[in-house]
Structure 1
């Protein structure tokens, strides 16, 4: 226990250095090496002793993200601005931050008078701002907007970034507690000690954390049915990416066809059970998404789409010139085929989950779909993998953690940088997943016999 505690203390020191300034690739790799060492050393510790170390270590490591302003992302500045705009009674989808109509909401923090700092963006009127893409409307969906408004209301005057970071820390700890109860301390350590949590969920305060919390609650705190569907819908309306968890909620639903005897035990046609599962998850999820969008649609109309189309084009997801997207696929096929192959393969993964997934372990299917999406698209943003880290902890599939490391490496080098080193890390992550799948097959076969 002392050795593991020492490794975690070293990890905390590295994380403090990382959040003190833009973390370089070497610091990321060192943090992940210490993370892997802690997991390896803890593998034989008794569960009871490990539990206290996982919780204490997780709470402490997450708190390192509170030690400094956001170190490697400016997204939280947009969150703060969107909350401020809504508090003034204005839809965040109606105006970009650069719009002179919102000049009365500007302050020295988000719109400093001196424009010499390298992290500032110029405005058309000659001013500058900390907000990224200041000439574009917001991209964030309505549940995220509700969170931004709530944080604004609860924030003391002059708190700046700190309230959003504190919110990220609270959600990270809640996920840790939920994972300990659902999966046990040994698996919860995948989340508790992962460097992505203090850096991206807390220090950079990414709203992805809200979606992760809602997905974990959906799978761990409620049974299959409308409540789970509603929580998953709220997660989708927080950051869109959790839509990959919906197939997990329907795991095995295509296997519930009418059996050879015609009617299963109890006299209820199996097909009816399947339809009830589909409607019980999809309808509440769709209603939550629709109702959350409704007030913004009434205020802003079609503008609620925000910057999403521009983001997809900026990231080159919409065409054959994919930049660093689809990096694994482009190693084995022409660039122009990669987007279509990614869609086809992801569709196949979803079908496999719907047909063969374990309805009693919905997070397993959610992990397969969400992790496959990142491996196929190879995004250059490390916080996208927070959901994968949480689901890997729920299912005990440590091999999926490499997806988060690959995203961190890609982001550190620059998401659009030519020859991004994230590509070999994504390849290694994919190989780790395949090796883990192959290694687990004999074990599953033994369980069936």
Structure 2
């Protein structure tokens, strides 16, 4: 009861703390961790395990490709944090959303980090239960990590979605989309003497060229390469947008514009006079120079509908044959994957998430990874054996001698063995009691 009372105290002020987090430097996750310590829970086994899981998630993440969707499961008896690492390009907007199943009243923390070898993860964006849908822009190419962790003793199911979107809300040419891009960043120019610092968007002469972001016009003019040009300083993120080869310019320096306002008309002035009309669109950032504009305007990838699979979250399964635990939902074929340690087929695996035809599972020692749904059988439907206990047995919460007991079974009780981890058997009693024991 003292533990529950302390947790109720933390939960009771979660709404106020969530709103305060908008004006404070600490994230909701950091504030909750601090409250655990202040309440003395950080020194108790559950609190220590929760803090350790949060730290471990930053060092040991699963690798996914965007867009990504997964359904998951919180275990109240074993604090854990899920983490996902994904590649980003400068200019992309990452969209994160989490939906809790009905009846799941748990407080959940979402934290996005920038990660790089040899560096401490740098916080990018955070949210908790009141706002479980947020977006943030990638400022540079690299790797990001999303950590998902519920409050202590939380139980329930959830669906997580992470996708990429263009950070510029308006495409630079009216009526066109990224399919109209015909020449990309880095293409050779002038027989290889220079590289293309932008993208070319093809459209009929006179098509309106639009402000892709709100800002003000810093410069207009005519140059030998760009022909008639417009420079726009975007109000956010410090980017300068460059529009070239215009047939006409319809704005003047110093003019304030909104996203979607017309800046000029598509043409082929400058060194594009021998080509069909198109807009050369570039993005520049102070101290970084030219950036690839395509991630800024590329439309969001459609989320694929995963094939229907049985609901298995919270279920124990076993492998049909020994197999490796994969770091990604898609099977890897490189040498590192082939050299990975194999899990024995009698080892029980707890399903904590589903991603299409892949299951995210947790081993008895707490490691997580993915296995194919077709590669497992339900442990309850195909137990290793059935027996009557010759003596009273305590069922431990983990396959370790120091683990606390969660239940006890009397002599002559009929049980089923769902799996084996070294000397320990995962046992289920007639009343649904479950735990580990040496038989």
Question: Normalising by the residue count of structure 1, what TM-score does the alignment of the two structures yield?
Answer: 0.20
Q: RCO greater where, 1 or 2, for CA within 8 Å and sep 6 or more?
A: 1
Greater fraction strand: 2
Question: Normalising by the residue count of structure 2, what TM-score does the alignment of the two structures yield?
Answer: 0.21
Greater fraction helix: 1
